[in-house]
Structure 1
Amino acid sequence: MRIAVLDDYQDVARSLADWESLPGDAVFFTAFLGHDDDAVTAALRDFEVVVAMRERTPFTAARLAELPNLKLLVTTGMRNASIDLDAARDLGITVCGTAGSATAAVEHAWALILAAARRLDVELFSTDRPRAAGRPWQQTLGTGLSGKTLGVYGLGKLGGQVALIGKAFGMRVIAHSQNLTAARAAEVGAELVAKEELLARSDVLTIHLKLSERTTGVVGAEELARMKHGSILVNTSRSAIVDTEALIEALDSGTPALAALDVFDVEPLPRGHRLLDAPGVIATPHLGYVTEDQFRIFYTGAVEDISAWAAGTPVNMLA
């Protein structure tokens, strides 16, 4: 049995789980295979098992159809929007997921909120650099969070934890999503508001919606124009929830003033992308789930999935 472990960018997968316990050889791909279908399928055509790290490498119906030897596809986490589960079922490919930790994404959302509020993108440097590089000792005025309004768009498991931390900072917390109730909002100390009010009142607006047909592009030019001048938009959920082109235009006008982003329409983000030159962008390379603790859970779960499948008793099945 040949096993491909994809997108192991930090080259840590082999050290975080017992791959040698499996009845087969694992090959670890530390570089992104690319966006070209032919290149991806050529690299994976001989593998019976593929382990995908989140949504880094999509498995569309077209790609799956070009992998005749693929029998088991394991995704880290129990949800992966980049895998066509219907196509996998039709092709007889078993798809399994793993456990995960919700805290990593919440912590990273707050890392971005704080980085934006205190303009760490501008002010951060090593102690020996400022004068040598000709940089002023201080350049910006930060934004204090206590007493400000935190808007949480999507108050599920992740959004609820983000809201509780906002309360600990002394922020007023408001929230909105299509099916959110006042009772659920009150559980985490938030006030349920209409979408328009969420946009207009938030000093910091953080997005924690699940990507779906309904939420794709739900924050577009009209919504961005309703935001406070000088506000901060944070997106650690999925890029397609926010219209990227509309966001670039909105940043030029200062509404919002800053966008702290961990997710992008195309990943890895191509060099020269317009977003990289837009004013007020603080960007991290989709790090919300990238912690040692999380990866240990992911890869240990992947090994367990493969072992169970090889024994004829698959677990954590998605398809």
Structure 2
Amino acid sequence: MTDTLRLVCAGDRFISADLLAGALEAELAGGARRHALPATIDRVDSDWPTAPFADVDGVREASGDPAALAALTRGAHALVTHLAPVTREVVEAGRGTLRVIGVTRGGPVNVDVAAAAEASVPVVHLPGRNLGAVAEYCVGTMICAMRGLPDAAAGLARGRWDAEGFRYERTGTELRAATVGLVGLGAVGARVAELLGAFGATVLAHDPYADPATARRAGARLVGLDELLAGSDVVSLHARLTEETRHIVDAAALAAMRPGSLLVNTARGELVDAAALDRALESGHLRGAVLDVFDPEPPAAGDPLLRRPGVFATPHLAGASTQVAEESAVRIAREVAAVLTGGGAGRDT
């Protein structure tokens, strides 16, 4: 092992290089494993989210210059990032010295994982890293949308006092009286189920890969998709995007949803046929929708969903919290340190 490790931290305006470096320095100075390793750390930050991420040289949702990152990575022992473009060029630049790549995301989509495997460099990441923030967003916006609060607040901001929200036909359902269907029961879906249980909601879940024991612990009953759509007051999406799940909520699925129900999407925009959703809202079949993700992102300025009454739309903010940034840095530092000290990758690999 070398006397001094050389590390590269590539951050942004959410999880900065300084935040990553501070967590690594604390861990390597004698964290939970009591190892003390001297290290020098090179730092670089992209302008994300001010500048949007993009697909770059075979990796997805990345921000930064691969050539500049490759130059920094040459001779480094570890590369730690949130969403820098860890392309084949970057991995090849670190060949011979690079021991680990750490990514503070649920999935390392901004890493050329195949190139890393060819170079025998493990990639560690953080499944479920933002589950608390996303779960709270889901439940909070469900309550707001079911009660019509976003439209009421917007009207008041325009000077309109709308007392008609007390008309019976315009009132919404409380969570304790609602059935909520979760499409996908991974880490985020399970946490949403637990929170909903505390409100007294009935929770259904559809996930062909879910562990029945996990569903029971979360308080959800596993059902088929058709049963979930027909029986839920709220349908919330938590599935990963695959060819199997792309447009899983299409015109037929929307038609199968309970009249007056609500759709919540904090997963991926491509899970929903946006044109079909707009028609379902225009017809009044759905009460509304909560949308934090779009296809594409950002959505077009003329996207009709953004102006549709009953739509509560936010710019991909469900996973944004102080805790996500700080805890992600600490967790990835622990994982990277485990590899650098010969302990192997930890549970977040």
TM-score (normalizing by structure 1): 0.78
Q: Which moved more, 1:273-282 or 1:194-203?
A: 273-282
Q: 1:1-319, aligned counterparts within 5 Å?
A: 1=6, 3-9=8-14, 14-15=18-19, 18=22, 21=25, 22-31=39-48, 32=51, 34-35=53-54, 37=56, 40-48=65-73, 50-53=79-82, 63-65=87-89, 68-70=92-94, 71=98, 72-77=100-105, 79-91=107-119, 93-98=121-126, 100=129, 102-124=131-153, 130=156, 133-138=158-163, 140=165, 141-145=170-174, 146-179=176-209, 185-269=215-299, 271-305=301-335, 315-316=345-346
1:179–1:68: structure 2 CA closer, same or farther, 3 Å change rule?
Answer: closer
Q: Does the Cα contact within 8 Å between 1:236 and 1:261 map onto a contact in 2?
A: yes
Q: Does the Cα contact within 8 Å between 1:51 and 1:73 map onto a contact in 2?
A: yes
What is the CA deviation profile of residues 186-205 of structure 1, one whole-angstrom value per residue up to 9, with x for unaligned ones? 54444443211211121111
Which amino acid is 1:119 matched to?
G
Q: Which moved more, 1:78-87 or 1:149-158?
A: 78-87
Overall identity of the aligned pairs, in %: 31
Equivalence for 2:35: none
Which amino acid is 2:248 matched to?
V
Q: Distance in 2 between matches of 1:43 and 1:257?
A: 49
Aligned-CA RMSD value: 3.6
Mark the runs of 5 or more structure 2 residues left unpaired by the alignment.
1-5, 26-38, 58-63
Structure index of larger Rg: 2
Q: Does the Cα contact within 8 Å between 1:123 and 1:138 map onto a contact in 2?
A: no
Deviation of residue 85 (structure 1)? 1.7
1:265–1:57: structure 2 CA closer, same or farther, 3 Å change rule?
Answer: farther
Q: Distance in 1 between matches of 2:192 and 2:329?
A: 26
What is the CA deviation profile of residues 190-231 of structure 1, one whole-angstrom value per residue up to 9, with x for unaligned ones? 444321121112111112223333323222221111112221
Deviation of residue 25 (structure 1)? 1.9
Secondary structure (helix, strand or coil) at the match of 1:206 reads: strand
Deviation of residue 105 (structure 1)? 2.2
1:179–1:24: structure 2 CA closer, same or farther, 3 Å change rule?
Answer: closer
Secondary structure (helix, strand or coil) at the match of 1:290 reads: coil
Q: Distance in 2 between matches of 1:273 and 1:4?
A: 37
Equivalence for 2:32: none
1:119–1:288: structure 2 CA closer, same or farther, 3 Å change rule?
Answer: same
TM-score (normalizing by structure 2): 0.72
Q: Does the Cα contact within 8 Å between 2:264 and 2:289 map onto a contact in 1?
A: yes
Deviation of residue 293 (structure 1)? 2.0
What is the CA deviation profile of residues 219-247 of structure 1, one whole-angstrom value per residue up to 9, with x for unaligned ones? 22211111122211112223332233433
Q: Does the Cα contact within 8 Å between 1:50 and 1:73 map onto a contact in 2?
A: yes
Q: Distance in 1 between matches of 2:196 and 2:160?
A: 33
Deviation of residue 67 (structure 1)? 6.3
Q: Which moved more, 1:174-183 or 1:230-239?
A: 174-183
Deviation of residue 295 (structure 1)? 1.5
Q: Distance in 2 between matches of 1:84 and 1:255?
A: 43
What is the CA deviation profile of residues 15-46 of structure 1, one whole-angstrom value per residue up to 9, with x for unaligned ones? 57616834122122233364263774345342
Count of residues paired in the alignment: 309
Which amino acid is 1:287 matched to?
L
